[in-house]
Amino acid sequence: MNDHTLNLEPLWMPFTANRQFKAEPRLLESAEGMYYRSMDGREILDGTAGLWCVNAGHSRQEITTAVSEQIAKLDYAPPFQMGHPQPFRLAEKLTEISPPGLDHVFFTNSGSESVDTALKIALAYQQARGLGRKQRLIGREKGYHGVGFGGISVGGLANNRKAFGNGLAGTAHLSHTLLKQNAFSRGQPDDGAEIADQFEELIALNDAGTIAAVIIEPVAGSAGVLVPPKGYLERIREICTRHDILLILDEVITAYGRVGAPFAATKFGVTPDIITTAKGLTNGALPMGAVFVSDEIHSAFMQGPENVIELFHGYTYSGHPVAAAAGLAAMEIYASDDLFQRADDISGYFEEAVHSLANCRHVIDIRNFGLMAAVELTPRENAPGTRGYDVFNSCFFEQNILVRVTADVIALSPPLIIEKRQIDEIIEKLGSAIDQVE
C-alpha cells in the first residue's frame, strides 16, 4: 500500500510530469544491492543504477560507515581559503585512475555544475594565455550537459532549451552521430566517423581563433545511448589539437566504470583536455561532481603573484567533507571489488541479452556500449513518447523492474555488480512489457 498520509502536492518534482505522477505515484522506500523496495512493498530490480549513478549497488555498508563517521567528526568546513584533508585525499585517489596528464581536480556538487565549471575554466584558460578572443563554446545536437545556463547553451535537446531564453552567445552545435544505417549495431557502429569533419566546416565558418572548446559526451546517455562511430572521437581529438581548441569530454554518466573502464576516455584511448564527472563519484550516495583538468591548463593559471586567487569560481560545498568521504569509500569499493573490470567482463553477455529484444514488437533500434543500452520503439502516431512511457510504467508496476524512459527510448544501465541471472530477468520482463503494450 502507498502511504496515504504522504502529501504529494507541495513538491514540484524535477523532469517529471507532476500531475501524471501524482495520479499514480511510483514511490521507492528503501534499497539494497540490486534491488529497490517500493512503498507498496514490492521488490524492484534496478535496471538503471538509480539514475546512472549507483555503480556499486545500493546502500553499501562501507559508504554508510564512512559518511556517518565523517559527519560526526567534521560536518562542514569552508572550502575558500581554508582546507580539510578529505578533498585532498579524494583528488589524489582520483588522479590515480584518471588518464595520464589530467592530474588536477576541481570539486562541484553535480554534473551540471561540473559542466559549467569546465566551460568557465576553458574560457578563463584561453584568456589566461592571451587568447581571449577564443570565446565560442561548441556542443552537439542531442547532447545533454545538465541544466545550468552553460550546459543548456551547449546542449542539444530542444525541450531543455526552448523555454529558457537565448542562452550563451556564440555557441554552435555539431551534428549528432545517430545514423539509420547503424541501427542494431553492437557496440561502436561502423559508419559515421566522417561526421566529425563537419567540425572543420564550423571552424572555417567561425575561425578557430574564436573557438574556446567543444564539449562531447563520449557515449551520449540522456538522448538514448548514442555510441560514437568507430574513429569519430579520434577525429574530433585530432581536429581540436590541430586548431588549438580544447576538448571537453562530459563523462557524468560514463566515468567510474559504466563503460568497463575508469573513464570512456580510457576505454576509447582518446585523451581530452578536461573531463567532467559526478554520479558514480559517490556511488550516488551524496551529491558531488569532479572536473579533471590537464596539467597544461592548470599550470596556465598558476602564474603571477601568489597572493592572487587564480580562478574566481567555486561552491560553498566544493569538496564537502561528507561527500568526499563517500567518494573515497566508493573508490575503495570500485578498486577492491574490481568493478570496472567486472563491468567489462559482463558487457558481452549484456550486449547479447539486450539484442535478443530485436524481434519484439515496435522495436526499431537497439544500441549498447559497456553496461549502457537503449531499446528504441516506434512512436505511436500523433502521440510520441506514450508507448515508451507505457512500457516504463508496466515495467515498474507489473514486472517489478526499474528501467528509464526518454520519449520512446528505454534505457538500461544496471549497477556494475549485476549477475547474469539478473540481466536475464530484466531482459525477459522488459521484452514482455514491450510485447504487451499497444
Q: Which residues bind ligand PLP (CB under 6 A)?
A: 110-112, 115, 144-146, 217, 221-222, 250, 252-253, 278
Q: What are phi and psi of 394, to 5 degrees?
A: -70, -35
Nearer to ligand PLP, 66 or 278 (CB): 278
Q: Closest distance between ligand PLP and the C-beta of residue 41, in Å?
A: 29
Q: Closest distance between ligand PLP and the C-beta of residue 179, in Å?
A: 21
Nearer to ligand PLP, 51 or 131 (CB): 51
**Helices vs. strands in the chain: H and E counts, helices first:** 15, 15
The kind and range of the H/E element at 147 are: none
User: In sequence order, which residues have a C-beta less than 8 Å from that of residue 137 and are 6 or more positions away?
Assistant: 119, 122, 123, 150, 153, 154, 168, 170, 171, 212, 213, 214, 215
Nearer to ligand PLP, 263 or 355 (CB): 263
Beta strands in 264-350 (DSSP E): 274-277, 289-293
Nearer to ligand PLP, 38 or 282 (CB): 282
Nearer to ligand PLP, 113 or 425 (CB): 113
Q: Closest distance between ligand PLP and the C-beta of residue 109, in Å?
A: 8
Nearer to ligand PLP, 215 or 357 (CB): 215
Distance CA 166, CA 322 (A): 37
Nearer to ligand PLP, 214 or 427 (CB): 214
Residue pair 403/395 in contact by the 8 Å Cβ criterion: yes
Kindly calculate the radius of gyration of the chain based on its CA atoms and give it in whole angstroms. 22
* Alpha carbon 391 to chain centroid, angstroms: 23
- Convert 158-169 to b/e letters by CB count within 10 Å (16 or more is b): eebeeeeeebbe
Three-state DSSP state, 268: helix
The kind and range of the H/E element at 120 are: helix 111-128
Give the nearest residue (CB) to ligand PLP. 111
Nearer to ligand PLP, 217 or 376 (CB): 217
Q: Closest distance between ligand PLP and the C-beta of residue 217, in Å?
A: 5
Q: Closest distance between ligand PLP and the C-beta of residue 411, in Å?
A: 11
Pairing between β-strand 274-277 and β-strand 246-250 as defined by DSSP bridges: parallel
Q: Closest distance between ligand PLP and the C-beta of residue 344, in Å?
A: 21
Nearer to ligand PLP, 99 or 111 (CB): 111
Nearer to ligand PLP, 128 or 252 (CB): 252
Q: Closest distance between ligand PLP and the C-beta of residue 352, in Å?
A: 26
Q: Closest distance between ligand PLP and the C-beta of residue 17, in Å?
A: 18
- Burial (CB < 10 A; 0-12, 13-18, 19+), residue 437, is buried
User: In sequence order, which residues have a C-beta less than 8 Å from that of residue 233 and are 6 or more positions away?
Assistant: 196, 216, 218, 268, 270
Q: Closest distance between ligand PLP and the C-beta of residue 425, in Å?
A: 25
Q: Closest distance between ligand PLP and the C-beta of residue 15, in Å?
A: 9
Q: Which residue has the cell 566544493?
A: 318
Pick the closest to residue 59 from 32, 89, 22, 27 (CA basis). Answer: 32
